[in-house]
Structure 1
Amino acid sequence: MNTALAFAACAAIAQSSPTPPAAATATPLPTYVDGKLRLPADYREWVYLSTGMDMSYSRVAMPGHHMFDNVFVNPQAYRVFKETGTWPDGTMLVLETRGARDKGSINQRGLFQDTDVMGHEVHVKDARFEGGWAFFGFDDDQPAKEIAHTVDCYACHRAHAAVDTTFVQFYPTLLAIAKAKNTFSSAYLDEQKKAN
């Protein structure tokens, strides 16, 4: 075959090759604006981890108020967790909070999620922050500043989180991975022994 023809054929194939899917769907690492975290616009296209309902770390109940917490993680971090059992730098866990409704359409009992989002919280793994992790609370879609490390959520996550300051114990699809990779925190293992 003529060298020029072979080169032209290769060039034509290269031009018609589609963009690799990973490049087309890549989610950027945490984006900061003047030190504030931007809420990822596409987080609902990320990996869904779990939904909690009426969860509270306090013994005080909130009567008459029901709430759903949906948790999503960026796909790159999820892939690394599946391989290693821990989170890479750049991990973003988005907690989306929605109210609960019991009346609507054909529903006769039970609760379903409201369309209105009550708020967002993002837990970011970033070596630039104290302890390597930071929380950001959002009341709207505007960039949010870091929640101070003196707030109880940091100490609670350090003391009770199953893996790398995250509550993997509430994400059923990740529990088996953490167990297989032997990445449970000693604090979580101690709690499990006391509970059994």
Structure 2
Amino acid sequence: MALLTLAVAAWSFAHAKSEEQVNRARFAADGSVTRPIEWRQWVHVGSRYKPIGLNILDQKLTKTPEILNAYVEPSAMAVYQETGQWPEGSQIVKEFTAVQVGPGCDSKTFVCSTRFGDGIYESRYIGLGYMVKDSARFPEQPGHWGYFSFGHQPEPYLPTAQPTTTCISCHVTLASDTDYVISKAHLGLNRSTR
């Protein structure tokens, strides 16, 4: 029994220490968040090809298919990988890219024949979404997640963003069993493949 108590205490200490070490988002007094830096160096957890349709950031029709790349801030990812829980302060980015079109590209499949081989290629960055877990700032939001958009536009993205409700309904519908993170759509968040 003493060994079990000691093991539980050690796990609790390690878990608490890990959450304290999670890098946090930067908020202003007006509730806006500053665009994170170097998110492309965070842990890439997956990409998704989205056909032409409504963009999830602004609900406007896209001109080409888009590729959505998801990144998780490394310190939060380390806690998630160890515990299966998203710690306070977690940050997740979804960056949107346009798909290459034009000469050498099929206008229906968007597969391009290039000197690098046939494939669907990203052509430019066109949008940035962001979610932050913060129970003090978002006490009423499902899972205490706040959602932000730095624009569905080419870079440079907006430097700051106010919370948006655009993303909440999809996260509630698709991910209420995974702390409102759509982890089942991202291979890098599937803990059963570890």
| TM class, shorter-length | 0.5 to 0.7
TM superposition shift of 1:173: 2.6
Question: Counterparts of 1:35 and 1:122 in 2: how far apart (Å)?
Answer: 14
Q: 2:185 aligns with which of 139, 150, 170?
A: 170
Task: Tell me whether 97-106 or 80-89 shows the greater mean CA deviation.
Answer: 97-106
Evaluate the alpha carbon distance shift between residue 74 and residue 48 of structure 1 in structure 2; reply closer, same or farther with a 3 A threshold: same
Question: Which stretches in structure 2 are left out of the alignment for 5+ residues?
Answer: 1-20, 55-60, 106-111, 152-156
1:110 aligned residue: 119
Evaluate the alpha carbon distance shift between residue 77 and residue 57 of structure 1 in structure 2; reply closer, same or farther with a 3 A threshold: farther
Max Rg structure = 1
More helix by share: 1
Evaluate the alpha carbon distance shift between residue 49 and residue 118 of structure 1 in structure 2; reply closer, same or farther with a 3 A threshold: same
2:149 aligned residue: 137
Deviations 1:139-181 (A, max 9, x none): 2241011103xx3x2122112115100110011132235x99x
Task: Tell me whether 157-166 or 99-108 shows the greater mean CA deviation.
Answer: 99-108
Evaluate the alpha carbon distance shift between residue 125 and residue 30 of structure 1 in structure 2; reply closer, same or farther with a 3 A threshold: same
Evaluate the alpha carbon distance shift between residue 107 and residue 28 of structure 1 in structure 2; reply closer, same or farther with a 3 A threshold: same
- Report how many aligned residue pairs link the two structures: 147
2:84 aligned residue: 85
Asked whether the 8 Å contact 2:113–2:119 carries over to 1, the reply is no
Alignment of 1:126 with 2:143, yes or no, is: no
Alignment of 1:29 with 2:43, yes or no, is: no
TM superposition shift of 1:110: 2.4
Task: Tell me whether 139-148 or 44-53 shows the greater mean CA deviation.
Answer: 139-148
Partner of 2:190, secondary structure, is helix
Alignment of 1:156 with 2:177, yes or no, is: no
Q: Which amino acid aligns with 2:159?
A: Q
2:13 aligned residue: none
Runs of 4+ in 1 over 3 A off after TM superposition: 55-58, 102-105
Evaluate the alpha carbon distance shift between residue 27 and residue 113 of structure 1 in structure 2; reply closer, same or farther with a 3 A threshold: farther
TM superposition shift of 1:65: 1.9
Q: Which amino acid aligns with 1:168?
A: S
Question: Which stretches in structure 1 are left out of the alignment for 5+ residues?
Answer: 1-25, 181-196
TM superposition shift of 1:80: 0.5
Partner of 1:83, secondary structure, is helix
Asked whether the 8 Å contact 2:23–2:76 carries over to 1, the reply is no
What is the 5 A alignment of 1:11-30? 28-30=23-25
Deviations 1:90-129 (A, max 9, x none): 1111000000114585155321111x21110001111121
Q: Which amino acid aligns with 2:181?
A: T
1:52 aligned residue: 48
Q: Which amino acid aligns with 2:134?
A: D
TM-score by length of 1: 0.66
2:65 aligned residue: 66
2:39 aligned residue: 43
